[in-house]
Structure 1
Amino acid sequence: MDNKKKRIMVISGLALAAVLIVVIIAVEAVGSLTRKKVDTSEGVEIIQQAEAAEVTVIETKIQNLEEQEKKEAEAEDTRSIKEKFTTAVVMGDSITAGFTEYDILNASSVVAEIGAGLGGLEEQIGKLKELNPQVVFLSYGMNDILSTQGDTDAFIDQYKSIIKQMQKELPNTKIFINSIFPVSRQEREREPLFQELDAYNEALREMCDRQQIAYVDNTELVSDRYYEEDGVHFKPDFYPVWAERMAEVASL
């Protein structure tokens, strides 16, 4: 017997039990009122309390069944990362390109270009339009911090423009925006502009809130062991971690 049938049987049984209990209590309450000539409000209160108690029990049972079904569904998900991203695309710069470079995702799930920033994405948007995914994850900002020279307002204006264009070209595609990944401490010291990275992410988060677009905060995913020698790009074993994070947020 599957969970759906179990839930129907439990709900039906509980509902029937609730009705019988309410009827019994009502009969007893009315009889008591008749014998003792007590104020009728006492009987009504008894019935209302019984009804409320039974409804609470039923709702709790249903909630427990739903949680159990969810856990079982998650436990049974044996799909590979590539399978989870069948209807999704990750779009970005050289960091994003690692998904295909290390064969973590299929080429049809990645639109990336080395050195890409928010300016001049017409070709990438054209490729995305051809793929026509249900979900797209944008991952830009590292190169934009340098090109905008720490000007978060200019960065956000560019991002808004890209989002507007994508919503026009792909109105049925749901957009998710990745936070800008932190760089290593040595890289922050080498390039002072990267010290503004946190401010860029905060501006990005606020923009997503205003635009009602999902923001994927990846900050806590990164640790020193994942960095390549340049302190910006990542080793192969980081990409499954990032992919699972996106899949979780988007319920892929």
Structure 2
Amino acid sequence: MKMFEKNKEKMKEKMEPDKVLRFAIVAVILLFLIGALIIGTRMMNPRVDATEGVKKLTELEDANVQKIDAQIQELEQTEADEATAWKAKSAKEKMDGCIVLGDSTALGFRQNDILSKSQVKSKDGATVSDAEGSGLNELLTAVTEAETAPQKLILCIGRGDVAVSGETADAFAANYKSFVEQVKAALPDTKVYVCSIPAYLSLTSTGDATGSADSDTDSDSDAKDTTDNSDSKSSTDSKSSTDSKSSTDSKSSTDSKSSTDSKSNSDTSSDESSLSKMSTALDVTSYNEALKALCKEEKVKYVDTTDLTDASYFGEDGSTMTKAYYEACINKILEAAFRNYVIQ
């Protein structure tokens, strides 16, 4: 028994180094495998040198920036050339494909040779308050039945409504809204623009549109006494002289009365003329404010011409617009309708 235990101890001591050796061998094998795995992974996914790639990207970026700058400069030059060509065109050429529709205000563009006959559809006295009876609907029908619908339709209406119908601004705007909706339904692809009602000059009490008082020239001449009293020696002569003097005085009195009546009639006529001129000096401010609100509601462009109030824009009556007015007004319309160009 003791011998068995002794041999067992010897065997145990002999196996201990073998166990350490086996562990070491296993550890070495594991390290080898791990190393091989790492090397294999790196070989399968080699590290890329990004230096050359970054260099190429930088070159491409510089090239793109230069190309983009060149394209921008080309576009700017094209726009500048187009703007120059645009400015050189006449109003008729700029308004090609557009129509101005309305009352006597619209008619003025054609009468002053600002636009051609085909570019203006107008009728003196046309109103939105009576679109059917005043001929406004007829004008719209002529536009809608044309072979080609206009790209832009500019409405110049309202003076007749203000000066003749006497409607309030709210009633006027309601009628105008109905007509705008009628236009949009008939011409769905046409852009609609609404011009403000031209202002009236504020006239003086004598009706002078420029603000200075009218000067009245008295053309009446005093009656001249042509009686000759030098030869009154006889009673016959005296009687003749008396009769002559009486006749002369009577004529003088008659002429004087006639002159007074004539001057009185002239003054009365002048007063009536002044009153007539004063009756045209209407305030359109509230009507234009109503139009501006209407345009915002209907999503159409409002063309504001209310600052065109210089005396040179109006005739002596303070209401009739001159060619200078229409030249300024067409620029307002062009600026609103073609905002890509600078109008001068």
Report if the CA contact (8 A) 2:304-2:332 is conserved: no
Give the distance between the partners of 1:97 and 1:249, measured in 2 at CA.
Answer: 20
Question: 2:301 aligns to what?
Answer: 214
Are the counterparts in 2 of residues 146 and 193 from structure 1 also a CA contact under 8 Å? no
Contact kept in structure 2, 1:145 and 1:193, CA below 8 Å: no
Residues 116-142 of structure 1: per-residue CA shift (max 9 Å, x gap)? 111222111112213421111001111
Residue 235 (structure 1) aligned to one of 322, 327, 332: 322
- The partner residue of 1:158 within 175, 182, 197 is 175
Deviation string for 1:140-188 (max 9, x for gaps)?
Answer: 1111123453511111110111011111211111100001111111189
Equivalent residue for 2:80, pick from 40, 57, 71: 71
Inter-CA distance 219–21: structure 2 relative to 1 (3 Å threshold): farther
Amino acid at match of 2:323: P
Report matched runs for 1:4-19 at 5 Å. Answer: 19=57
Q: Assess if the C-alpha contact under 8 Å between 2:280 and 2:319 holds in 1.
A: no
SS at match of 2:282: helix
Aligned CA distance change for structure 1 residues 67 and 181 (closer, same or farther; 3 Å) = farther
The CA distance in 2 between the partners of 1:203 and 1:193, in whole Å, is 19
1:20 to 51, 55, 58: 58
CA RMSD of aligned residues (A): 3.2
Structure 2 vs 1, CA of residues 61 and 122 (structure 1 numbering), >3 Å: closer, same or farther?
same
Counterpart of 1:105, as a letter, is: L
Task: State the Cα distance separating 1:70 from its structure 2 match.
Answer: 3.0
Secondary structure at the counterpart of residue 89 of structure 1: strand
Show CA shifts across 1:21-47 (max 9, x none): 899xxxxxxxxxxxxxxxxxxxxxxxx
How far did residue 230 of structure 1 move?
2.1
Query: Does 238-247 or 207-216 show the bigger shift?
Result: 238-247
Amino acid at match of 2:58: L
Range with bigger deviation, 199-208 or 115-124: 115-124
Instruction: Decide which structure has greater helix share.
Output: 1
Amino acid at match of 1:108: S
Is 1:88–1:133's contact at 8 Å kept on the other side of the alignment? yes
Counterpart CA distance in 2 for 1:87 and 1:152 is 32
Q: Structure 1 residues 239, 166: CA separation in 2 closer, same or farther (over 3 Å shift)? A: same
Which residue identity is paired with 2:302?
Y
Secondary structure at the aligned position of 2:126 is classed as: coil
CA distance, structure 2, for counterparts of residue 251 and residue 106 of structure 1: 19
Count of residues in correspondence between the two structures: 205
- Distance in 2, Cα, partners of 1:249 & 1:18: 49
**Residue 153 to residue 134, structure 1, CA distance change in 2 (3 Å):** same
Match of 1:105 among 91, 108, 115: 115
Deviation string 1:210-241 (CA, Å, 9 cap, x unpaired) is 11100001122331111012211211232222
Contact 1:95 1:233 (C-alpha < 8 Å) held by counterparts: no
* Alpha-carbon distance in 2 for matches of 1:19, 1:177: 55
* Aligned position for 2:141: 126
Find the structure with the greater CA-based Rg.
Answer: 2
Question: What is the TM-score with the length of structure 2 in the denominator?
Answer: 0.53
Q: 1:19 to 1:115 in 2, by over 3 A?
A: farther
| TM-score normalised per structure 1 | 0.70
